Structure 1
Amino acid sequence: MNLALFDLDHTLLPTDSDHEWGRFLVRLGVVDEEFYRRRNDEFFGHYKAGTLDIQAFLRFALAPLAANPRDRLEALRSQFMREVIDPVITPQARALVYKHLDAGDLCAVVTATNSFVTAPITAAFGIKHLIATEPATANGKPDGAFTGEVAGIPSFREGKIARVEAWLKSMGTQWDAFENTTFYSDSANDLPLLEKVSEPIAANPDDRLRHHAAASGWRIMDLF
């Protein structure tokens, strides 16, 4: 069996689901418009520049989850999927995923965006496994109220390797059990995991990753 890992934002999606979720909450008046829009854009800029303070960002991004009951959040998420995400999923991205699924590869989305936002997006691609930043809950149960904190290691930079390895261990396997391991990503923030797999693929890469991929002889794929 082969292992196929996919970053989500700007890799399978031609947008950033975390940033768009923030804009969506602003549009619906769920969060303070002036403050949230400004901070959301600032953090997005830091991410693209490779200077993101992940803990500061997560305190910001997870605060709306803690400020709202689960039933409201789930209704908002369904609306977000219908209005923002579903319309931008492209046939090219679906075809890429289906190629691996049809081949029988073990597939997972590995994203820094929190699992509350990304779980239905991952499911929309037909991928069963999601490795995302996990929002903490008050009782530690999946349906508990969100606290605004992070549970465990954020799925970001080197944290993606730690989270993938923990997931593989939970599946009773490890890296060297696979004939081939592939990771698709658009971002230079994902260089640690890209350098870990046997087949790193720069998908819709940012400038820093495109330069690194070209210099390293990695495959470059432009889906969008």
Structure 2
Amino acid sequence: MTADIQEEKRSPRERPRLALFDLDHTLLPLDSDHSWGVFTATLGWTDPVEFNRRNDEFFAHYRAGTLDIHDYVRFATDAVRLRGAEAAAAAHERFMAEVITPAILPAARALVERHRAAGDELVIVTATNAFVTRPIADALGIAELIAVDLVRDESGWITGAIDGIPSAREGKVARMQAWLAARGWDWGDVEATFYSDSLNDLALLERVDHPVATNPDPRLRALATERGWPILDLFSQADA
């Protein structure tokens, strides 16, 4: 009887439920990092032609799964680093108002709120840096954010380098493992659902209990179809 009770306590129904969300092209119908770069170019912080050329080049590498994230983060944060914290904060406030808030569509909000109403722990797990994504997570009402952390200098401002393991590709699994460990959990202690659009996130999709291909790129759509994973075309819904 004791063994039966212990087994019952380990039942998936009794485990804390996690709803993990990729951000770009999953909860947002755009890439926030790429869009931030375009936005700062319109402010005159960079040469728009050269910056947008390189930004598009890095984005193509990301979609192909060949991105050197350390090179990209140095490139993507250079202009904002040089402008300083005050100018960066003001620019990001405009970015939120003009670009991000209009892009947070009803279907995405409804998905988040459905998990919140069910009592699930909500976590955004993104390969975009925390400077760009923390205000976006706040706008979605999601306190737990796993993003690319940035090294800060003695003044507290970013240096352009990545601090610790970047939350990209297999790094998302490592960062989630650390997040779980900090709460005294392992993967077997929770029931996790992960929403992602990209085959770049395959490692975490394979690690969770419930992978959901969300607005998937062609490679992920094909794999999800082959494996029988749910496919959610969030932004084709009528209320989007």
TM-score of the two chains, using structure 1 as the length reference: 0.95
1:69 deviates by 1.1
Shift of 1:53: 1.7
2:162 matches 1:147? no
Unaligned 5+ runs, structure 2: 1-15, 236-240
Contact 2:22 2:197 in 1 (8 A): yes
How far did 1:31 drift?
1.6
How many residue pairs get aligned? The number is 220
Q: Is the 8 A contact 1:137 1:147 kept in 2?
A: yes
Q: How many angstroms does 1:70 deviate by?
A: 0.6
Shift of 1:145: 1.1
> 2:38 touches 2:52 (CA, 8 Å); kept in 1?
yes
| Residue equivalent to 2:111 | 96
Q: How much has 1:58 moved relative to structure 2?
A: 1.5
Tell me, yes or no, if the aligned pair for 1:108 and 1:128 is still in contact at 8 Å: yes
Superposition RMSD in Å: 1.1
2:234 is paired with a residue of what secondary structure?
coil
Does the 8 Å contact 2:169/2:202 carry over to 1?
yes
Q: 2:189 aligns with which of 170, 177, 183?
A: 177
1:197 maps to what in 2?
A: 208
Could you tell me which residue of structure 2 aligns to residue 208 of structure 1? 219
Shift in Å at residue 171 of structure 1?
2.4
Cα displacement (A) at 1:144: 0.8
Mean CA deviation greater in 162-171 or 109-118? 162-171
Q: How does 1:63-212 map to 2 (within 5 A)?
A: 63-139=78-154, 144-178=156-190, 180-212=191-223
User: Equivalent residue for 2:4?
Assistant: none
C-alpha separation in 1, matches of 2:194 and 2:110: 16
Alignment deviations for residues 58-104 of structure 1 (CA, whole Å, 9 cap, x no partner): 22112223212111111011000000000111110000001111111
1:52 deviates by 1.4
Secondary structure (helix, strand or coil) at the match of 2:149 reads strand
In 1, are the aligned partners of 2:70 and 2:161 still within 8 Å (CA)?
A: no
User: Scaled by the length of structure 2, what TM-score is found?
Assistant: 0.89
SS at structure 2 position matched to 1:66:
helix
- Counterpart CA distance in 1 for 2:45 and 2:182 is 37
Shift of 1:51: 1.7
Rounded Cα–Cα distance in structure 1 between residues aligned with 2:140 and 2:156: 26
Tell me which structure has the larger Cα radius of gyration: 2
Report whether the alignment pairs 1:52 with 2:64. no
1:189 and 1:85 map into 2 onto residues whose CA distance is 23
Q: Quick one: which amino acid aligns to residue 137 of structure 1?
A: R
